[in-house]
């Protein structure tokens, strides 16, 4: 049985899930999306993801032709139709079919589609032994150009940095913002631990307000740890005791080397492990 895709109110076979080549999502990357996880048949932080999708749409003046409740139901329906208890769900809203010009008012009806599939972002051994990352020369989008809090279909900024990571023989790259501070990685938020304090760049550094990031900060505080949102430099990463990345697809992945420099003792740290275990427990609840 082929997988089912939710497309504008109907569940269709994957082979029949098509949008027009005149869709502004295809022509200009004009649209928004969310990546969502399900664990054991339950969608994790569904309400927060749907709300962020609608916030992103509002930020680009795109009216989603359904309510947040209807979107949440459609996401659950798509997961159930695919029979995947542990899955990755992608909800996408494009501007819709229009003319070859930029004018979004010429796109009368947005397209909404939801894909449900399996995902493995990193091999299992990297969760056990840690990931190596590099700093990208590609700067994170200036927040006043395209605000990274908008989860838009225009991901070229991230892809260019991802190419740098792959060229360096790694899977992830740290992106700096226009001020030279650490922003985030190409698809994940970043944390460091120094003297048992957990640090992460603030939203003002020009980052996506990650849902897994928020969850990890809450877990760390519940564990009695000090959590600080502060501007970080590359030097802060180099001298950190621990470093890890968070994201819906990645969950919590330890980083053991940055720009060929070992972090701490070059192995995943104890606080990273405790936070990752607590996060996994939470997703299973």
Chunked in runs of 10, what are the mean pLDDT values of the chain (285 residues)? 89 97 98 97 97 98 98 98 95 97 96 94 92 98 91 96 98 97 97 98 96 98 98 98 96 98 97 97 90
Give the C-alpha separation, 258 to 272, whole Å: 16
Q: Are 236 and 111 in contact (CB under 8 A)?
A: no
Q: Which residue from 103, 86, 83 is spatially nearest to 95, judged by alpha carbons?
A: 103
Which residue's structure tokens are 């051994």? 125
pTM of the model: 0.95
Could you list the active site residues?
A: 151
**Strand partners of residue 36:** 89
Strand bridging mode 131-135 / 251-258:
parallel
- 143 and 96 share one domain: no
The closest of 34, 137, 33 to 95, measured between CA atoms, is 33
Torsion over CA: 158, 164, 170, 174 (sign): negative
Are the C-beta atoms of residues 242 and 254 closer than 8 Å to each other? yes
What pLDDT is stored for residue 192 in this prediction?
Answer: 98
Cβ contact 256:132 at 8 Å: yes
Based on the structure, what is the number of domains in the chain?
A: 2
Same domain flag for 249 and 179: yes
Domain containing 148 — which CATH number? 3.20.10.10
SS3 166: helix
What the block records as the tokens of 23 is 């869709």
Q: Which residue among 69, 95, 117 closes a domain? A: 117
Do 133 and 80 have their domain in common?
no
- State the Cα torsion 15-37-47-281 to the nearest 10°: 160
Range of the domain at 53: 4-117
**Cα–Cα dist 242/255, whole Å:** 7
Terminal-residue alpha carbon distance, the chain: 30
Strand 227-229 versus strand 197-200 pairing type: parallel
Same domain, 178 and 212: yes
CATH number at residue 54: 3.30.470.10
Largest pairwise CA distance in the chain: 57
Backbone angles phi, psi at 77, to 5 degrees: -60, -40
Of 90, 117, 144, the domain-final residue? 117
Closest to 74 measured CA to CA, from 9, 26, 15, 28: 9
């Amino acid at each position: 049985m082929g997988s089912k895709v939710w497309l504008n109110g109907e569940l269709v076979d994957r082979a029949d899930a098509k949008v027009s080549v005149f869709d502004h999502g295809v022509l200009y990357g004009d649209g928004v999306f969310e990546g969502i996880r399900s664990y054991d048949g339950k969608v994790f932080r569904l309400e927060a993801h749907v709300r962020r999708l609608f916030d992103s749409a509002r930020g680009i003046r795109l009216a989603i032709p359904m309510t947040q409740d209807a979107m949440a139901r459609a996401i659950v329906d798509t997961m159930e139709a695919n029979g995947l208890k542990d899955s990755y769900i992608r909800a996408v809203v494009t501007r819709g079919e229009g003319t070859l010009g930029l004018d979004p008012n010429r796109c009368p009806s947005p397209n909404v589609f939801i894909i449900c599939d399996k995902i493995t972002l990193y091999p299992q051994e990297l969760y056990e032994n840690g990931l190596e990352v590099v700093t990208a020369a590609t700067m994170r989008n200036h927040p006043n150009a395209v605000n990274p809090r908008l989860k838009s279909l225009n991901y070229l900024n991230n892809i260019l940095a991802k190419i740098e990571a792959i060229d360096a023989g790694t899977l992830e790259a740290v992106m700096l913002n226009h001020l030279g501070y650490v922003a985030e990685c190409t698809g994940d938020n970043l944390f460091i631990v120094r003297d048992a304090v957990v640090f992460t760049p603030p939203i003002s550094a020009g980052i996506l307000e990650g849902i897994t990031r928020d969850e990890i900060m809450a877990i760390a505080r519940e564990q009695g740890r000090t959590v600080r949102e502060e501007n970080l430099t590359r030097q802060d990463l180099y001298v950190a005791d621990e470093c890890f990345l968070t994201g819906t697809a990645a969950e919590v992945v330890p980083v053991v080397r940055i720009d060929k420099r070992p972090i701490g003792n070059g192995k995943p740290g104890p606080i990273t492990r405790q936070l990752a275990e607590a996060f996994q427990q939470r997703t299973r609840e």
